[in-house]
Structure 1
Amino acid sequence: MTWQWQEVIGTAGAFVLIISVVTVTIWQVGATRRAKALLAAQHDYRDLAERVARTQENTEKQLTALAERMADVQARMGSVERILKDVE
């Protein structure tokens, strides 16, 4: 009879240990997956930021080129206007 209580307590302790190990393992797997998802999201945001920066630089270059062309067109229009005034 004395061994019966000890067996029950030992069995309960073993189940608690197994449940604890399984719970901690599941918790750690979940934490690892969350961390990997967070890193993937950060990588995606970094890629997006780099693409936006490159696009912004390209847009700035294009605007600079357009401004130069527009200044050239305005200068030519000014000379055309002067020629037309002289012709009148």
Structure 2
Amino acid sequence: MTYHGWQEVIGAIGIFGMVIVVVTIVVWNLAATWRARAILARDYAYRRLAEQTVHHQDAIDRRLAGIDERLTDVQTRMRSVERILKEVE
């Protein structure tokens, strides 16, 4: 091989190496972007889940408060009935 032949081989290897480096960097950055988007989507899903959970807990608290009021009313009535029954005996 002549001097120019070796230069072409070295140049081709250099260009091939540069292409590999550029492709690797592009793929690496795309993968990092995809990971970041996946993390953001997961965080958004967790945030929505937390908001829904708080909403449902508030609804449960309201229902429990209503049940507590009704139970207190039933207990009051039961005591009244017991007192009346004791007076009747």
Band the TM-score falls in, shorter-chain normalisation:
over 0.9
Alignment coverage as a number of residue pairs:
88
Equivalent position of 1:48 in the other structure: 49
Equivalent position of 2:60 in the other structure: 59
Letter of the 2:74 partner, please give it. V
Equivalent position of 1:18 in the other structure: 19
Q: Which runs of 4+ in 1 moved over 4 A?
A: none
**Superposition RMSD in Å:** 1.0
- Taking structure 1 as the reference length, the TM-score comes to 0.93
Please give the residue correspondences for 1:23-42 in structure 2 after superposition, counting only pairs within 5 Å.
23-42=24-43
* Pairwise CA distance, 1:73: 0.5
- Taking structure 2 as the reference length, the TM-score comes to 0.92
Q: 1:4 & 1:85 partners in 2: Cα distance? A: 118
Unaligned runs of 5+ in 1: none
Letter of the 1:79 partner, please give it. S
Letter of the 1:86 partner, please give it. E
* Pairwise CA distance, 1:33: 1.1
Unaligned runs of 5+ in 2: none
* Pairwise CA distance, 1:10: 1.1
* Pairwise CA distance, 1:2: 2.4
